[in-house]
Structure 1
Amino acid sequence: MRRRSLAVLAAVPLLFAAACGTQQADTKTSTGSGVKVTGEIGKKPTVTFPSGTPAAKSSEETVKDGSGTEFKIGDSVIVNYTVFNWDGKTNATVGSTYDAGNPETITLNDELPSVLREAFVGAKPGGRHVAVVAPDSLTKEQLEQAKQQGQDKLTQVLVLDMIGVKPKPVTVDGAAVDPGVKGVKVENPGPGKAPVLTTKTGEKPSKELVTKVVIKGTGPVVKSGQQLMAHYIGKVWGTDKKFDSSWDRGEPATFGIGTGKVIKGWDQSLVGLPVGTRVLVSIPPDLGYGAQGNAQAGIKGTDTLVFLVDIVGAY
């Protein structure tokens, strides 16, 4: 499904293991640690560090408060973050979701270092916060893992641009119709159950992108640039070989849509459909993985891909 793997930014041990609202005015603040953050919320920030040794004590501060409902423990918060290693020398940027082109979703629980829980809990959508994460905020287990990675003396600075709480996925429900694609069969067992896709056929696939709605949703229309939440099954035309399924993993996938983060056939077929839709998509090689195919998934460069996709959310 993905055209290429997105980089996962490793911020602090155990932190990040594997539709952004309106831009705010320029912000500027100096934290108690002496770290200064500048730039517009919604864009990659600039951080200026004080001279001398890095802070040995963790701290968090609000650069600009957001509005709306405060985040609480248990929420899955959508956030853009930029991470710096504060070493007192280069203070290099580790990475940023702004560079990756996608925000991340962080679940607020006890696995987060304590200072990050403090930064997230009580924050609001649209706000910017900065957290200085020193070893003193790590649990014994996190500190041991950091030691194994040679990072037990590391202090990091995270600038957190809060977007909102990730919406709960909807259940696709409604009257199903035959997609009418010769050689492909779809079974719809009912709401909340994985549909069945059969692609073993002697029929020749179309050389063009084919998009057929099976169940029409009633939610908001998916827009280019949003994060899309989807349950899906992917098979190779003619073989009935399943190469991917979010249903098998037990949770929908989330990815940027309409911006080149996934294969072209997804970008071209899913934008414009309403949330709650089940859609059959037949994708020729040039709109899939191209002539090189995807060896890891067992997809050849000549394979036509067939996906049955449930659009369960977008934000």
Structure 2
Amino acid sequence: MRRALAVLAAVPLILFAAACGSENGATTAAAPSGGSSGVKVAGNVGAKPTVTFPSGKPATTSSYEVIQPGGGTGVKTGDRVIVNLTVYNWDGQGNAVQGSSYDTKAPETIAVNEQLPQVLQEGFTKIKHGGRLLAVLANDTVPAEQQATTPAEPTKVFVFDVVGTQPPPLKVATGKATDESIEGVKVDNPGGEKAPTLTTKTDEKAPKDLVVKTVIQGTGKKTEADQTLIVHYTGKIWGTDKQFDSSWERGQPAEFPLAQVIQGWQKGLAGVPIGSRVVLSIPPDLGYGSQEQQGIPANSTLVFVVDVLGAY
């Protein structure tokens, strides 16, 4: 699960939905402004750019160009870069701007990883903080098997100004343990980077309302409802101790837009300080309700222990 860029709903259709690192996506080497794509970028880094498009049909091959290399710390794979971005629909007609964080005054954070198109994975690693990257994303970023079933998107043109880098997420909850608990639920904290043990086998009646208790009190910034969270978690069903999911067992934290998960998580994890470990009891109406999910019976009360490791 990944956060859609807030500048424009169409952005993640190119950046994320079709961004599985297709081998069909072509990447050109870094070139000066107005290089292989013919797109020209004017203006200083730190201000909304002016973009000029060539006449004729839009490019059908994805590419990137380093407009300004920047003089700060280099960007590397795995970084979460903070950027100001401006995006255009290159349709060969109006080539209209679709949005800019310079207008919203809200820079975005992008994880430089395999979920980005290959052209962006490579392009970002060619610039440093204070740099400017031009990226043309055409439909060759869509895997061949999806091109037959996915309507073609207009070629997108992005101008990214790298502002900085988010600090890496924590590996485990850090802070002071509390005495808080949910009656009928037990959380054992083994210490170090080991996963906590969640026990939900109980004769206690499940709470009718959402219950959130802090097991370890983190000291980081509080999460916000519109952020993407990085968490470790285990989920079980109240009363049965049946586990249905665990990121700890997969060995990889989960990363998701908080606004796109079940309401119990939206309500329970917003405002939690980074570094905290919390336990949540989520009633059916804030979980999956009367709909049976894989491994989760209908009308189940869900219990999660969650380490909030990062947010952006």
The TM-score bracket by the shorter chain reads: 0.5 to 0.7
State the SS of the aligned residue for 2:264. Answer: helix
Taking structure 1 as reference, are residues 287 and 261 closer, same or farther at Cα in structure 2, changes over 3 Å only?
Answer: same
User: Is 2:178–2:217's contact at 8 Å kept on the other side of the alignment?
Assistant: no
2:307 corresponds to: 310
Give the whole-Å Cα distance in 1 for the aligned partners of 2:174 and 2:203: 31
2:273 pairs with 1:274: yes
Taking structure 1 as reference, are residues 88 and 295 closer, same or farther at Cα in structure 2, changes over 3 Å only?
Answer: same
Ranges in structure 2 where 5+ consecutive residues have no aligned partner: 3-11, 26-32, 98-103
Report the count of equivalent residues.
Answer: 281
Match of 1:121 among 105, 126, 132: 126
The root-mean-square deviation of aligned C-alpha atoms, in Å, is: 4.9
- Following superposition, the deviation at residue 234 of structure 1 comes to 0.9
1:182 corresponds to: 183
1:71 corresponds to: 75
Taking structure 1 as reference, are residues 252 and 92 closer, same or farther at Cα in structure 2, changes over 3 Å only?
Answer: farther
- Following superposition, the deviation at residue 235 of structure 1 comes to 0.9
- Following superposition, the deviation at residue 50 of structure 1 comes to 3.0
2:19 pairs with 1:14: no
State the SS of the aligned residue for 2:249. Answer: helix
State the SS of the aligned residue for 2:177. Answer: coil
- Following superposition, the deviation at residue 158 of structure 1 comes to 4.5
Give the whole-Å Cα distance in 1 for the aligned partners of 2:278 and 2:307: 7
Match of 1:293 among 270, 291, 294: 291
Ranges in structure 1 where 5+ consecutive residues have no aligned partner: 18-29
Deviations 1:264-290 (A, max 9, x none): 22222222222111111111112222x
Q: 168-177 or 225-234, which moves further after superposition? A: 168-177
- Following superposition, the deviation at residue 78 of structure 1 comes to 4.1
2:250 corresponds to: 249
Give the whole-Å Cα distance in 1 for the aligned partners of 2:305 and 2:226: 22
Deviations 1:87-106 (A, max 9, x none): 8699999xxxx9xxx96422
User: Is 1:186–1:195's contact at 8 Å kept on the other side of the alignment?
Assistant: yes
State the SS of the aligned residue for 1:107. Answer: coil
1:192 corresponds to: 193
1:106 corresponds to: 112
> Which residue identity lines up with residue 252 of structure 1 in the other structure?
P
Taking structure 1 as reference, are residues 119 and 312 closer, same or farther at Cα in structure 2, changes over 3 Å only?
Answer: closer
1:165 corresponds to: 165
Give the whole-Å Cα distance in 1 for the aligned partners of 2:166 and 2:305: 23
Taking structure 1 as reference, are residues 148 and 239 closer, same or farther at Cα in structure 2, changes over 3 Å only?
Answer: closer
Give the whole-Å Cα distance in 2 for the aligned partners of 1:52 and 1:201: 69
> Which residue identity lines up with residue 107 of structure 1 in the other structure?
N
> Which residue identity lines up with residue 169 of structure 2 in the other structure?
P
State the SS of the aligned residue for 2:194. Answer: coil
Give the whole-Å Cα distance in 2 for the aligned partners of 1:278 and 1:133: 39
> Which residue identity lines up with residue 256 of structure 1 in the other structure?
P
Give the whole-Å Cα distance in 1 for the aligned partners of 2:57 and 2:184: 67
State the SS of the aligned residue for 2:233. Answer: strand
- Following superposition, the deviation at residue 117 of structure 1 comes to 1.8
Give the whole-Å Cα distance in 1 for the aligned partners of 2:212 and 2:247: 20
TM-score (norm. length: structure 1): 0.67
- Following superposition, the deviation at residue 189 of structure 1 comes to 0.8
Q: 268-277 or 228-237, which moves further after superposition? A: 268-277
- Following superposition, the deviation at residue 205 of structure 1 comes to 1.0
Taking structure 1 as reference, are residues 267 and 53 closer, same or farther at Cα in structure 2, changes over 3 Å only?
Answer: closer
User: Is 1:217–1:275's contact at 8 Å kept on the other side of the alignment?
Assistant: yes
> Which residue identity lines up with residue 296 of structure 2 in the other structure?
G
Deviations 1:230-260 (A, max 9, x none): 1111111111111111101212112223xx3
Taking structure 1 as reference, are residues 78 and 261 closer, same or farther at Cα in structure 2, changes over 3 Å only?
Answer: farther
Give the whole-Å Cα distance in 1 for the aligned partners of 2:20 and 2:196: 39
Give the whole-Å Cα distance in 2 for the aligned partners of 1:91 and 1:146: 26
1:51 corresponds to: 55
User: Is 2:57–2:91's contact at 8 Å kept on the other side of the alignment?
Assistant: yes
User: Is 1:119–1:130's contact at 8 Å kept on the other side of the alignment?
Assistant: no
Taking structure 1 as reference, are residues 245 and 59 closer, same or farther at Cα in structure 2, changes over 3 Å only?
Answer: closer
